[in-house]
Amino acid sequence: MLPGVIGLVQATETVKLLLGKGQSLVGRLLVYDALKMTFREYAQRRDPRCALCGEHPTITGPAGAGAGAVAAAATTAAPVCGLGS
């Protein structure tokens, strides 16, 4: 059941992002406690040392992708986490 609940949340977030509708979870961590049947939200701040969205990112493309795919992703994709950009 747990993968179904979390999968539904992830699918809903994906549809919202694709449609540009609603309020996404960007900048928030959603924690689900199945035993208590509760959801809690925690605000997340951008880490300037983050390898993905920090001031000097070292992750700049999909793992295992060729140089061409990495270059294409870097020029066409929005920042992965969307924080602070």
Q: Which residues bind Zn ion (CB under 5 A)?
A: 50, 52-53, 81
Shortest Å distance, C-beta 81 to Zn ion: 5
Q: 9 or 53: whose CB is closer to Zn ion? A: 53
Q: 52 or 77: whose CB is closer to Zn ion? A: 52
Residue that is written with structure tokens 């992750």 in the block: 59
Helices (H), 1-85: 2-19, 67-76
Cα gap 42→9, rounded to integer Å? 16
Q: 17 or 53: whose CB is closer to Zn ion? A: 53
DSSP conformation letters of 30-47: EEEETTTTEEEEEE----
Shortest Å distance, C-beta 46 to Zn ion: 6
Residues 65 and 73: beta-carbon distance below 8 Å: yes
Shortest Å distance, C-beta 70 to Zn ion: 18
